[in-house]
């Protein structure tokens, strides 16, 4: 639970900046068809700067690796043997093929007998 104080100021919500729409020139720059020098307006330059930062942050995230001491602890905690359950799972009951065939014949015969008695 948090301490609620009625006089405490409400924290401001962070303002999120919407990504400006990409003009055809910005789209051509993103596709690698044009150089950044061809971006004429300030909005296009600002959009290019935003995408440059996004690309550099994404590249930085792609270069991250698990530290070797963490990786070794994970691998050392794994067992060499494959996981095998202690007991096989309990199934309700097993039905063999011959028993199923005989049961089907019996049910068919009982149905035919009942049908014959009702028709008569």
**Does any domain span residue 72?**
no
Closest by CA to 22, choosing from 51, 1, 56, is: 51
Q: Are 20 and 46 in contact (CB under 8 A)?
A: yes
**Does any domain span residue 29?**
yes
- Alpha-carbon separation of residue 83 from 7, 87, 112 (angstroms): 58, 12, 52
What is the pTM (predicted TM-score) of this model?
0.40
**Does any domain span residue 58?**
yes
**Does any domain span residue 38?**
yes
Q: Are 44 and 69 in contact (CB under 8 A)?
A: no
In the chain, how many domains are there? 1
**Does any domain span residue 116?**
no
Q: For residue range 19-67, list pLDDT tens digits in order.
A: 667 788 888 888 888 888 878 888 888 888 888 898 899 999 888 888 8
Domain that holds residue 38: 24-66
CB atoms closer than 10 angstroms to residue 85: 6
Residue 93 is predicted with a pLDDT of 78
The per-residue DSSP string of 72-113 comes to: HHHHHHS-SSPP--SSPPPPS----HHHHHHHHHHHHHHHHH
What letter would DSSP give residue 17?
Answer: P
For residue 108, what pLDDT band results from cuts at 50, 70 and 90? very high
Residue 14 is predicted with a pLDDT of 67
**Does any domain span residue 62?**
yes
Q: Residue 27 is encoded by which pair of tokens?
A: 């789209």
């Amino acid at each position: 639970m948090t301490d609620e104080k009625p006089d405490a100021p409400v924290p401001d919500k962070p303002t999120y900046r919407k990504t400006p729409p990409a003009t055809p020139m910005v789209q051509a720059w993103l596709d690698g068809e044009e150089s950044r020098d061809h971006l004429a307006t300030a909005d296009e330059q600002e959009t290019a700067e935003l995408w440059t930062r996004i690309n550099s942050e994404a590249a930085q995230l792609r270069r991250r690796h698990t530290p070797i001491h963490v990786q070794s602890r994970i691998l050392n905690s794994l067992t060499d043997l494959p996981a095998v359950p202690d007991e096989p799972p309990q199934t309700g009951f097993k039905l063999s093929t011959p028993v199923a065939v005989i049961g089907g014949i019996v049910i068919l015969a009982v149905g035919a007998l009942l049908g014959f008695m009702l028709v008569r």
